[in-house]
Structure 1
Amino acid sequence: MSIDSSTVRPTTRRPVSPGSEFGQALLPGTETGAEGLRQRLMILQGRLERCATVVRAHQETVTRAPRTDALALGLVQDDQRLLRDVRQCDDEAGEFDDALNEFFQELMAADLKSVRRRQEAERLSGRIGVSPPYSPGWNSADEISETFAHASSPLLRVEGGTLFGPTALFVKRYAEHATFTRTMYKDVTLRLAALWEVVMEALDGPLLQEPTLMGLEEIDELHHSQFEQLIADLLDRDGYRIIRSGGGAGDMGADVLAADPLGRFVMVQAKHFTGGGGSVGQPVVQHLYGGAMATHPSTLPVVVTNGRLTGGAKGWAAEHFRVRLIGREELRRWAENGESLESVLKGTGPA
């Protein structure tokens, strides 16, 4: 789409009629979940592109300055078509606004646990209907239409007319209205560009990404950094806010630091072994526990591995439920079966 803008403006809400072509297109179809929502956005994307194509067809007209000395029938007819299409696309943009608002309301009304996806939905929905004010031409759109109709009348002595000629005052008014129409064209261009940006960010960003699911065989082939990212994605999926992802110097044993909806910290040490053949011993568990207690006494330390947990690690972690452990079977339930972290941790410590 070739129209560009970084600004949008307030718009008048127009209800989307369920019986209209657009309303029917945006109603839920056979697909559900993220794929169904994606299809609805793609329908909207196509409608936006068609509207933008109509607008682009007038680029040559808007680059011509209105004549202030005389009327030319060909230019008058071009201006008539420009005004007609600008008004039509503005009406459609109002429908697009309402359809997008409905889309985001429906999305946020669902059980959107992912903090990342919820924040993205709130950010994008906040950009709908926020833009610069309309130009003055919109208040005179009907009057402009009448001026153009009169200028194209066969009664005028303009390119074949026989009865009377346009007055200088009328020619001046026509030029003013033609200028207003070009400003209205810019308004619609900005509006369509802003809607296009929202739709594309919704389609290409994290909003419609399916919840993280991955089998153990795939996990065994990951790089350690990818394993850390997987854990962060799983925590986000389950409603945790990711504070930091990726270990390093001074991480106190934590590769991922997150917080639950109540603000309590979860500190995760990720131990990945290619093929799942390695083991995690007691020193790793002790190191993570020390880092967690130094962060905050209520921090929940969790060791996650695709490998084996030694008896020493299990015994030390179980004493006073100091550290929660997620081994291969628990990881399968969390990453492959889609169980929540809360469900996976039941039985590994106090409820």
Structure 2
Amino acid sequence: MTMPVRRHPAVERRRRETFDLRSTALGFGLVALVLWGVAVTFKSAVRPHAHPLGALLVLFALLLLSVAAIRSKWLRRAARRAALEAAVPLVPEPPAPVLPATVGAPEAADCADIDPLAFEDAVSELCRRDGCSDVQVVGGAGDLGADVLATTPDGRRLVIQCKCYGAGHKVGSQDLQRFGGTCYAVHDADLAVVVTTSEFTDPALDYATQCAILCLDGAFLGAWNNGTGPAPWEL
């Protein structure tokens, strides 16, 4: 998935400041040339045989002093800004969501725009987006409880079961028991995860705790999808 490229605001400010410096220097140069022209014209009128070199040197010196003062001021401002930017860490831009942004919202019909197969594909894309490798969608008949297989960024084998349920339809303990019987013994998981657009019953959560299965409800899924929460393997 192609991510949008956003220019760093500090770079844009430096470009504007460089342009302003050049514009200011050019403006002073033009003013100096105008003044020099007026001075030469006036001096020629008063003293026709006078040489304009002295006036030219004076105006050139004034121009150099003006540019040096402007450059010194600009350098001081740039140094203060650089120190401030170094003290305040940049906040990374959240990644683009894969699922509808309303997934996980209490008032939203979480599965209104996606079917179970598309949900498995979306979860695999979230894994791929956030750095997993060897991502496979293996859900379907005979999947033995696994819908998505992947290798996490830190090298662990990730096994995910996806439950695309509507609001009010909770994942029960029987769903967890079927997955618990295969995730480690059959699929050799290092990290076993059940992710749903809905919620889990209390017995399901109790069983998951006993079997070291990570349960991600709709709220967690929504935060992961929108980039405001961690990925499962970061917990």
Q: Could you tell me the TM-score, scaled by structure 2's length?
A: 0.52
Q: In the alignment, does 2:176 pair up with 1:289? A: no
Measured in 2, the distance between the counterparts of 1:277 and 1:246 equals 27
Q: Which amino acid aligns with 2:124?
A: A
Q: In the alignment, does 2:98 pair up with 1:212? A: yes
Partner residue, 1:266: 158
Q: What is the alpha-carbon root mean square deviation over aligned residues? A: 2.6
1:39-58 pair list within 5 angstroms: none
Measured in 1, the distance between the counterparts of 2:143 and 2:218 equals 24
Aligned residues between the structures: 140
User: Percent identity at matched positions?
Assistant: 29
More helix by share: 1
Q: In the alignment, does 2:170 pair up with 1:279? A: yes
**CA 1:271–1:215: 2 relative to 1, 3 Å:** same
Q: Which amino acid aligns with 1:326?
A: L
**CA 1:228–1:292: 2 relative to 1, 3 Å:** same
1:80-91 pair list within 5 angstroms: none
SS in 2 for 1:279: coil
**CA 1:300–1:35: 2 relative to 1, 3 Å:** same
1:162-181 pair list within 5 angstroms: none
Q: Which amino acid aligns with 2:136?
A: R
Contact persistence 2:169–2:199 (CA under 8 A): yes
Q: Which amino acid aligns with 2:133?
A: R
Partner residue, 1:336: 226
Q: Which amino acid aligns with 1:261?
A: P
**CA 1:332–1:243: 2 relative to 1, 3 Å:** closer
Measured in 1, the distance between the counterparts of 2:135 and 2:186 equals 13
1:1-351 pair list within 5 angstroms: 34-35=4-5, 210=96, 212=98, 214-216=101-103, 217=108, 219-221=110-112, 222-274=114-166, 276-295=167-186, 297-319=188-210, 322-342=212-232, 346=235
**CA 1:36–1:305: 2 relative to 1, 3 Å:** same
Which string of whole-angstrom CA distances, capped at 9 and with x for unpartnered residues, describes residues 155-203 of structure 1? Answer: xxxxxxxxxxxxxxxxxxxxxxxxxxxxxxxxxxxxxxxxxxxxxxxxx
Contact persistence 1:253–1:287 (CA under 8 A): yes
Q: Which amino acid aligns with 2:115?
A: H
Q: Which amino acid aligns with 1:340?
A: P
SS in 2 for 1:340: coil
Partner residue, 2:24: none
Q: Which consecutive unaligned segments of at least 5 residues does structure 2 have?
A: 8-94
Q: Which consecutive unaligned segments of at least 5 residues does structure 1 have?
A: 1-32, 38-208, 347-351
SS in 2 for 1:244: strand
Measured in 2, the distance between the counterparts of 1:219 and 1:242 equals 28
Q: Which amino acid aligns with 2:200?
A: L
Cα drift, residue 212 of structure 1: 2.9
SS in 1 for 2:206: helix
Contact persistence 2:160–2:193 (CA under 8 A): yes
Contact persistence 1:234–1:335 (CA under 8 A): yes
Runs of 4+ displaced beyond 6 Å: none
Measured in 1, the distance between the counterparts of 2:208 and 2:97 equals 30
**CA 1:241–1:298: 2 relative to 1, 3 Å:** same
Cα drift, residue 288 of structure 1: 1.4
Q: Which amino acid aligns with 2:132?
A: Y
**CA 1:298–1:306: 2 relative to 1, 3 Å:** closer
Partner residue, 2:53: none
Structure number with bigger Rg: 2
Cα drift, residue 333 of structure 1: 1.4
Measured in 1, the distance between the counterparts of 2:126 and 2:159 equals 14
SS in 2 for 1:34: coil
